[in-house]
Amino acid sequence: MAFSRISKLDPPSRGIFRKAAVMLCSLLTSLFLLHCLADRCSTTTSPSPVKASSSRATGLFEDLRSLRTKRLAYEWTAGSELMGYTPPDIVASRKVSPRFAGKLSPLGEGRKKLPQALIIGVKKGGTRALLEFLRVHPDIRAVGAEPHFFDRNYENGLEWYRELMPKTLEGQITMEKTPSYFVTREAPARISAMSRDTKVIVVVRDPVTRAISDYTQTLSKKPDIPSFESLTFKNRTTGLIDTSWSAIQIGIYAKHLDNWLQYFPMKQILFVSGERLISDPAGELGRVQDFLGLKRIITDKHFYFNQTKGFPCLKKAEGSSKPHCLGKTKGRTHPNIDPEVVQRLRDFYRPFNMKFYQMTGRFFGWDD
């Protein structure tokens, strides 16, 4: 009886056969794709086991080195982001420290190149403002943070340096800014060794005002430092200026320029006025764009003057649709300095300024 019931059961439906066939095809397709990925779809010739093993070992080494480089970059630059601004594409990925956020090309496009142009100085001259303004240009890709490669990290090598750069397309310029390069004796030779065609930009400012601004920045971090007046002089009675103090030494522009001219012709060096960068940002940016061989895209329409901060801001920052000003660390109120000390500093800098005017062929008006 039981056998007769079994013999009367309906045969499996065609739907079940179809599903089984689809599942089998999917499984076979998956296995084929895995095979292709493992062998890199090499259906014509198969590399010898020794070559394949060597290739995979090399690839593994390169991957490990890349991961190590990215980890070092992230650890080196971890912390608060400059000016509270990070391009959104970098915020989303976080694969590399957001402080190195330049204007990246879409995923898979472009390649990382060593910079063709550098903002090399000077500290407290307006380098951050210049970099942020330049990043609006579609043909400029720039690292957000200061790599300090040619002064502090040179032993890491050019490949380490290249890894910090954003991807660029053909015709785009890679840039970075580290203001201490201008006063680092070894920097010109090292940059020239990378490329003799590198263009360098120096933002300069009244050396007296620059020194006070430099001191103000240090004071905000170390409130217990001596007064500006006591640091300025080796001997207040004789009026001998202490040129070993970095705040004073940086402003002797002619001395530092002499070092750079041993490796770069003047035609490859552009001097930007820090004062005019505030009073006429579009004008100074026009000169920079010309120097870099770029179309003048950044104009007056990109700026508005912020009365509270006392300097120009961008109507639309790179990677954002909102207005953008430099952070709270910019535009600090300077302490009151004894007018006699200020005058002695002006007298000290005057001959160096005059030589600098002659060397650059530009009058900056710091001695009026």
Please spell the DSSP secondary structure of 229-275, one letter per residue: HHHHEEETTTTEE-TTSHHHHTT-HHHHHHHHTTTS-GGGEEEEEHH
| Residues 6+ away with beta carbon under 8 Å from 325 | 306, 309, 311, 313, 314
Give the residue ranges of the annotated binding site: 124-128, 205, 213, 330-334
Phi-psi region of 83 (alpha: psi -120 to 50; beta: other; left: phi over 0): left
Kindly tell me the burial class for residue 217, based on how many C-beta atoms sit within 10 Å of its own C-beta (0-12, 13-18, 19 or more): middle
Per annotation, catalytic residue among 124, 167, 177, 199: 124
CA distance 15 to 278: 76
DSSP 302: G
Contacts with 291 (C-beta within 8 Å, 6 or more apart), sequence order? 199, 201, 270
E strand spans, 67-132: 111-112, 117-121
Q: What's at 81, amino acid-wise?
A: E
| Residue list, annotated binding site for 3'-phosphoadenylyl sulfate | 124-128, 205, 213, 330-334
Instruction: Tell me whether the omega of the peptide bond preceding residue 122 falls within 30 degrees of 0, making it cis.
Output: yes
Phi, psi of 130 (to 5 degrees): -60, -45
Using CB atoms within 10 Å of the CB of residue 229, give its burial: 0 to 12 exposed, 13 to 18 middle, 19+ buried: middle
Please answer whether residues 204 and 122 qualify as being in contact, where contact means their C-beta atoms are separated by less than 8 angstroms: yes
Helix (H) or strand (E) holding 130, with range, is helix 127-134
In angstroms, the CA 68 to CA 317 distance is 32
Is 103 catalytic? The answer is no
Contact 181, 97 (CB under 8 A): no
Residues serving a catalytic function are 124
